[in-house]
Structure 1
């Protein structure tokens, strides 16, 4: 009889313990963590303000172009990492140049509906007098959000030429992670 009472008490304790660890209904309806932004969730473009425009007419130092992503979906989503950027040249000899990444560490960016973030591209412009084979003339940028495969096609609006270093190990033209 003692063992039956012990078994009944143990069963009651297990049931009571299970009930005590049940998730309250209010917690079950809590919001899930946002998932990553997909290309279809976003709009993209070049920042065009005076302080955001690259100085393509100067040739003695690097300058930066800024590309933005805006969440146009109705949900909150995240971006983290580096966008993929392929520059397509205007000259027959330019071809396509896939930009290298900086050594900067990416941070996770949370974008609510209508929020914007972006990234910079460091550019090394060259003078018009630079030999044609040493310069890349950008025509458009193919910009793929982090962890996506579909891209945006952005027409290059700033003119100028960039020192052609598409085969360099550490080129003067490269991109930074989203959020920096």
Structure 2
């Protein structure tokens, strides 16, 4: 009996020690191998618990349709620059063909030259201006141009202001064809175009023959000056 009790008392501590060793070994296996490497994850039977109310999922905030105000001190949004159509149109003071009357003054010959003043008179009720050279062309009875276009003298254009009824003149000069020997013809009229205009004015030509080709056949024009003659 004592022998059996002794065996039993000795066996209990041994069994307890064996169970403890097994438990420690299980903890080491769960924490990792003895070499420091992690053990592969273990499957656990059962279902996952639902998410708790305290956990939220990140999502994009809804777009705000109202634009944010410009912060104080920052640059304001750019504005559209005004276009040429938005700018007021400058009023032109140029004399138009419809406001003028043309005429040819008396010949002022000198040194084999014939010199005629071509006169533009303001026939409107407003003040306007002329500046530069007139256009000019001699025409025959059928309206065909005689000779080339006149050439311009080396003058400096000035702006001439014409009140209603006032005039400006430009010189029309050429060599006397009777002296120069140039081929000549007798025009029926002279077309005069005001500066920067397209529509001409027709003036009857009564001053005789003009050079139309050959030597010394050039006709010259000067710029407008105030008045009706030099």
TM-score for the superposition, normalised by structure 1: 0.64
User: Between Structure 1 and Structure 2, whose CA radius of gyration is higher?
Assistant: 2
Cα distance in 2 between the residues matched to 1:110 and 1:92: 32
Alpha-carbon displacement from aligned partner over 1:40-83 (angstroms, at most 9, x marks no partner): 11111112xxxx3244xx9x611201111111111111100111
Paired residues for 1:1-150 under 5 Å: 35-47=93-105, 52-55=106-109, 61-89=112-140, 95=146, 97-127=148-178, 130=181, 134-150=183-199
Q: CA deviation at 1:165?
A: 3.8
Cα distance in 2 between the residues matched to 1:135 and 1:91: 17
Give the paired residue count.
138
Cα distance in 1 between the residues matched to 2:161 and 2:180: 44
Corresponding residue for 2:76? none
Corresponding residue for 1:163? 211
Q: Which has the higher contact order (CA 8 A, sep 6+)?
A: 1
Ranges in structure 1 where 5+ consecutive residues have no aligned partner: 1-6, 8-31
Ranges in structure 2 where 5+ consecutive residues have no aligned partner: 1-71, 73-89
TM-score for the superposition, normalised by structure 2: 0.51
Structure 1 or 2: more strand by fraction = 1
Alpha-carbon displacement from aligned partner over 1:123-173 (angstroms, at most 9, x marks no partner): 212229958xx22322211100000011111111111x233348x8x8542
Cα RMSD over matched residues? 3.3
Paired residues for 1:166-177 under 5 Å: 172-177=218-223
Q: Which runs of 4+ in 1 moved over 4 A?
A: 90-94, 128-131
Corresponding residue for 1:151? 200
Q: Tell whether the 8 Å contact from 1:54 to 1:64 is kept in structure 2 after alignment.
A: yes
Cα distance in 1 between the residues matched to 2:134 and 2:186: 21
Relative distance call for 1:111 and 1:124 in structure 2 (3 A) is same
